A and B are shown apart, each in its own frame.
Chain A
Amino acid sequence: MFKRFAKNKRGVSTVIGAVFFVLILLGGFSTIIWEITEYDNYVQVVNDRGQMDWEKQNEIIEITSVYIIGDSLNISVVNNGAVVAHLVNLWVTEYVDEATANWHEAFQIDYYVNSGSTIAGIGLDIETLEVDSQFTYVVKIVTERGNVAMGTSEVEESPPPSPRFFGVFSLDWFYFKYSSLTHPEPIFAGSVEKTDDYVAFYVKVINNYDEAITVLSPSLLMLLVAWQEPHLNLVQDVDYGGNWVTDWARTTDYKHTGSYAIEADSSDTTLTSYDLNTADATDITVSFWYRDAYIDDSDDVYLQFWNGLTYNNIFELGNTSPENTWHYYTVTTSDPQYFISDFKIRIDGTSIDWGEYLWIDDALIKKTTGAGEVILLDDGFESSMSPTITAYNDNDPIIVAPHQTATLIFAAESATGNQWAWKTEMPYYQAGTEGAIVMIALVFTMESDPTQMYAQSLPFEALVLLD
């Protein structure tokens, strides 16, 4: 070792110095890399906070109405912001007068309101929230992001109230029945049905008054964009419990079980189920109880199945013996022509003459799939979305009981064969779709003053697509 020192006097210190230099350099680099990583993490946190603040600023909710219905509050909230709002808390204060509060309490809620949409019925499902119409209630709704909207309750005016849709009626479009196209954003839920000779719009009306209202036949749908003459007139088919489209009447006169059956007479046409998806079925079973009175054997009153193109006769109902008693009918088919996505059954009562009647009760439709048996429809006609509707011809009014729902069907005849008269007036055509903005106007009277008519057009429009 000493020999080496003696021979080579240079280099050792340089090597040692270099080692230290490298150590210092590594320490510096590791510090820089650490700082970069930490700073990136910090920037991510800053960005997240910016996003959170942006969402909070762009969440704009507004309470459009607070109504006292019975002992419940019915609150409607509109989301005017750009993001989905999650409503998480409802604060309610009961005031005797402006300065005196009886109680102040929070209720947990869980509603999501999409941008641009309105949600109603907040408060109705809170069992512990009971209100009294003699007091005033200030409500405050809090979102998950911490935004707050406030409103004050109103007692519905005594009749005759000013006609309003929002708050008094809620009217919406429900499922887009015919078209398989994805409708654009303005349609929250649309319903249009097109057959060979008419197009129909299904409109659900909820009467939030404490008294019955009568919707009159001058109610109409019109083209908003062209302000044309009305093209769509109210027809009075009734949607019973969401299972059927029909002009038959529910009745308590004869029923197999429960309190109701459905009845057809000479003024009625068809009882048709909504679309039932049987595409995955291996067989379909349809059963029901029926009772005919005085229907001629020569009349063509048939149970029919839809195969996607036409209705096929399955069973004749008008030639039973003995008459005026309940008969049970059941049929199971494994015919693949009925395994479609829009299978439906229909009972055609158009040939029923004056003085002849047919009742149907306890209808059941089920399918068998690889996963087992699935019930598609089970209806004893006990529940109805419109239990008080009493008129079934084209000129009679539709009575909607207090706080009940009715489905109105607006239909337009085709004026020029397969060309819809108003179809050519549509201002915008998109590839594969055609549309029009339509608007609804309801004409109605209140039960307390049947002589006073009200009319109000719906202040929003819906884009309807036809195939």
Chain B
Amino acid sequence: MKEVLECLFKNKRGLSPVISSLLLAAAVIAIGLSVVVWSNSAFSARQSGASAFLSSRSESLKESFVIEDVWFYQGSPRYVDVTVRNVGTIDLEVVAIYMNGTTVWEGSQVIDVGETATIKVTFAWQSGEYRIVVATARGNQVREWHSTSG
């Protein structure tokens, strides 16, 4: 250290270039780090967004189901059995059933690939036709008209 100080005091000409070099290097490092951090963050955000989008779309595409059967039961109270078959390649979760635009069932019914599930919907149905919509957690829907006369 002593030698360095002696060098600085003896040779006054080299001081400014050194300081300027140090300042320049520091500036470059700071700016570079900022840019790298920013770019990584941007790439990561893009990947995350794209991943979520593609994953969501893929799962949605893999999901396929049909309303296999709807049966209107008389009695008190009246109810409807809605049988859903999973014909897709991924398990699905039925979250809501609507009849003529009214939410008649909300819940969670997971159906494995190739399997069926019958959901009992307590609903005071009247004779006629009903537009039945089955919705899944992934946002897919199947809509069908069914008559109470079978």
Q: Interface residues, chain A, CB within 8 Å of chain B?
A: 2, 5-6, 9, 12-13, 16-17, 19-21, 23-24, 27-28, 30-31, 34-35, 38-39, 41-42, 45-46, 48-49, 52, 56, 89, 91, 93, 95, 98-99, 101, 104, 106, 138, 140, 142, 144-146, 148
A140 to B83, CA, bound (A): 13
Q: Is B17 within 8 A of A20, CB to CB?
A: no
- Residues of A close to B65: CB separation below 8 A: 146
Nearest chain-A residue to B57 (Cβ)? A42
Q: Return the contact of B24 from the options A13, A89, A95, A101 (Cβ within 8 A).
A: A13
Interface secondary structure of B, over-half rule: helix
Partner of A34, one of B20, B47, B69, B150: B47
Which residues of chain B are near A144, meaning CB under 8 Å? 87, 114
7 example contacts (A-B, Cβ-Cβ < 8 A) are as follows: A16-B29, A17-B28, A23-B36, A52-B88, A89-B68, A93-B150, A95-B150
Does B58 sit at the interface, judged by CB under 8 A? yes
CA distance A145 to B14 in the complex (A): 83
Q: Is the CB of B14 within 8 A of A99?
A: no
Quick one: which of A39, A45, A48 has the most chain B CB within 10 A?
A45
* Contact status of A2 and B4, CB under 8 A, knowing A12-B21, A16-B32, A28-B39: yes
Binding site for A on B (CB under 8 A): 4, 7, 14, 17-18, 20-22, 24-25, 27-29, 32-33, 35-36, 39-40, 43, 46-47, 50-51, 54, 57-58, 61-62, 64-66, 68-69, 71, 83, 85, 87-89, 114, 116, 149-150
B35 → chain A, closest Cβ, in Å?
6
User: Cα distance A52–B65 when bound, in Å?
Assistant: 12
- Return chain B residues, CB-CB under 8 Å to A48: 61-62, 89
Name B73's closest neighbour in chain A (CB-CB): A104
Return the chain B residue nearest A12 by Cβ.
B25
Which one of B28, B36, B47, B64 lies within 8 Å of A52 (CB-CB)?
B64
B46→A31 contact, CB < 8 A: yes
| Contact (Cβ within 8 A) A27 B43 | yes
Residues of chain A contacted by B14 (CB below 8 angstroms): 2, 6
Q: Is the interface of A mostly helix, strand, loop or mixed?
A: helix
Instruction: From known contacts A19-B32, A49-B62, A146-B66, infer whether A101 and B150 are also in contact, taking CB-CB under 8 Å.
Output: yes
Q: A20 contacts B36, CB within 8 Å?
A: yes
> Is B18 a contact of A5 with CB atoms below 8 Å?
yes
> Is the Cβ of B35 less than 8 Å from the Cβ of A24?
yes
Residue of A nearest to B114 (CB): A144
The reply to whether A38 and B39 form a contact with Cβ atoms under 8 Å apart is no
Given contacts A13-B27, A16-B28, A93-B150, 9 further A-B contacts (CB under 8 A): A2-B14, A20-B36, A21-B32, A31-B43, A31-B47, A34-B47, A35-B50, A45-B62, A104-B71
- A16, A24, A146: the one contacting B39 at CB < 8 Å is A24
**B17–A6 contact, CB under 8 A?**
yes
Q: Max chain B CB contacts within 10 Å: which of A9, A13, A93?
A: A13
